[in-house]
Amino acid sequence: MKVRTKSKKVNKAWLHQQATDPWVRLAHKEGYRARAVYKLKEIDERLRLLRPGQVVVDLGSTPGAWSQYVRHRLAPQGAAAGALDGCVVALDLLPMEPIEGVMFLQGDFREEETLARLAQALGGRAVDVVVSDMAPNLSGVASVDTARIAHLVELAVDFAVQHLARDGALVTKVFHGAGYAQWVALFRQRFRTVKVFKPKASREQSAETYLVGLGLR
């Protein structure tokens, strides 16, 4: 009974947080699927990463808010899918409701078969921007969670190194704590410029941070 009571309290607190969160309300008003869109929006507005004509890959895309934003940036006038100026490929382990003009692939990014499907979807085109909001299911065991996060970060960086145009960019989520220094070091090893962002839409209690790599070495 104690566990159930605690669970109810947690759920009630979460629902209250969602109902009172200004970013949640703004996302609903503007037609985005999640408040996370404003994290990418802030990074994009600061660095001017996204523009028409680009090839963009969205890793960990579900529920699709980042892909929605990318599509909007590639077609600011609301172009139909057939006239979309650019290409958006989204990937996630979970299903995602369709977004006009966005190619979605469902699969596990940690598996070679999924990576091969993603490469095939690109058809040999160089990628201008890779955005990744991927995060593992956290166990609460620090050493296990650090290893899981590190694996996803390394996969995202490896994918970027293989597919980005020379002046391309990678945006990926990491977490402050154990392993953070090594992720920053990895980015500095692979990219000419590295930026660190804690977007305003990230909750204060969250350890999430976004690393942006600009221009391959």
Catalytically active residues, by annotation: 173
Q: Name beta bridge partners: 92.
A: 106
| Placement of tokens 């930026």 in the chain | 195
Closest residue by Cα to residue 198 from 169, 178, 173, 179? 173
Cα dihedral 190, 192, 196, 201 sign: negative
Do residues 63 and 54 touch, judged by C-beta distance below 8 A? no
Q: How far apart are CA 158 and CA 151, in angstroms?
A: 10
